[in-house]
Structure 1
Amino acid sequence: MSQSETTKPETHESGSQQLLKFVVELGPLVVFFLTNARAGIFWGTGLFIVATLISLIASRVLFGRVPIMPLVSAFVVVIFGSLTLFLQDELFIKLKPTIVNSIFAAVLFGGLAMGKSLLSYLFGDVFALTEEGWRKLTFRWACFFVFLALLNEVAWRFLTTDQWVSFKVFGIMPITMVFAISQVGLLQRHALDKTGGA
């Protein structure tokens, strides 16, 4: 009984933290979009780098740690954003989503190949799933990251720079949210029973 009582506050706390994390991680994209609209891709990229680093600091201060996915994304933003500015070539910042999503997909697929569902290490404190559930969820997200990488490759080739920035901010985020919501059924089917025991 006391176990189920302690479980509930944790769930509520992690839920509010997830919302705050979403706001912190969305900030750099909003800065990128607004600056690009007013001053162009190079100013947008410069402030995107700064905003991304501030976002990491905010995560550290607010949550006591920096999540691995934003950390990897920030690393690629700094590298490819810097190349964009130094070489004055917008191609590098356009390749960033392809590189990041490809890395995530490769890591998740690699973990599965070694018999590990790596999402359980990232979100085990938020969801309680069976091993099969974590395996399926990890596989689906790995496939989704491949889809996002391919989608970005198509987008930057066929859209103007301004259209690509808008798509990155207002297209990718809703697509990701729709995909995440579509996994609720899997989460429910493979949820561990916290109340009883079997």
Structure 2
Amino acid sequence: MKLLIDFLPILLFFIAYKFAGIYWATAMAIGATAIQVAWLWARHRRVEKMPLATLGLLIVFGGLTIALHDPIFVMWKPTLVNWLFAAVFIGSHRIGERTLIERMMGQAIELPKPIWTRLNALWSGFFVFLGLANLFVVYVGSGFYEAHQALLAATGESGTDLSACATLYSGAVLDLCNTAQARESTWVDFKLFGMMGLTIAFVIAQTLYLSRHVKEDPEPQALEAD
């Protein structure tokens, strides 16, 4: 149930984007995340800092995307959230007696202290990597930023609705708009499928790594007959 609640804003963003474009999708993500936080408060009478921080970043950067009609702000949000996670994991090395990953998983498995430290460092590095991967897709992999800037230069506008290319432009400008929209869609697909796939792959690799270090209880010896 918790996994579904955590995943719902991303899924709703993806669905809304396919039907109505990035601005409605951003508004949907803000609303869904706010409802998610409200549900956590109603259920537990408290909300952890990370969901609140995620909502705050989404309101600020999603709000800028909607207000300025510029998708680049909401595209930065996954990077900032992942780097915030990385900062929390890194900070746990110096705050308290246990790293964050040990606090999260320590009741389920028993590991030597150096392994917990190494595992926490791996999660920190993974979140840094996810943030960089997101920026790579925005600026290099999809080529969205370059295509979007070319469109804005051609129109002389500071922002535009890429989901309405056919109704706004014609000729060469329409081609630029369609290119920018296609590359924006590439980023949206990466946000859902790419990041999810990378996370699943990392969790599988972590499981294989942990299987080498988890201590197994010795089998009880059979009682010998007198």
Instruction: Pick the TM interval, shorter chain.
Output: 0.7 to 0.9
Moved more, 42-51 or 182-191: 182-191
Q: 1:133 to 1:25 in 2, by over 3 A?
A: same
Q: Which residue of 2 aligns with 1:56?
A: 37
What is the total number of aligned residue pairs between the two structures? 177
Q: Which residue of 1 aligns with 2:56?
A: 75
Instruction: Report the secondary structure of 2:47's partner residue.
Output: coil
Q: Which residue of 2 aligns with 1:36?
A: 17
Q: Which residue of 1 aligns with 2:75?
A: 94
Moved more, 149-158 or 129-138: 129-138
User: In proportion to residue count, which structure has more helix?
Assistant: 1
Query: TM-score, length-normalised on structure 2?
Result: 0.69
CA distance, structure 2, for counterparts of residue 88 and residue 62 of structure 1: 36
The answer (yes or no) to whether the contact 1:98–1:148 under 8 Å persists in 2 is: yes
The answer (yes or no) to whether the contact 1:111–1:118 under 8 Å persists in 2 is: yes
Q: Which has the higher contact order (CA 8 A, sep 6+)?
A: 1
Matching residue within 190, 202, 214 for 1:167: 190
Cα RMSD over matched residues? 2.5
Q: Which residue of 2 aligns with 1:187?
A: 210
Moved more, 118-127 or 130-139: 118-127
CA distance, structure 2, for counterparts of residue 128 and residue 61 of structure 1: 33
Structure 1: runs of 5 or more not aligned: 1-19
Q: 1:181 to 1:82 in 2, by over 3 A?
A: same
Residue identity in the other structure for 2:133:
L
Residue identity in the other structure for 1:102:
W
Structure ID, larger Rg: 2
Matching residue within 180, 194, 200 for 1:177: 200
CA distance, structure 2, for counterparts of residue 71 and residue 192 of structure 1: 37
Instruction: Report the secondary structure of 1:109's partner residue.
Output: helix
The answer on 1:145 being equivalent to 2:127 is yes
Q: 1:49 to 1:194 in 2, by over 3 A?
A: farther
CA displacement 1:78-134 (0-9 Å, x = unmatched): 221112122222111000011111122223223325675122233434444332222
The answer on 1:130 being equivalent to 2:153 is no
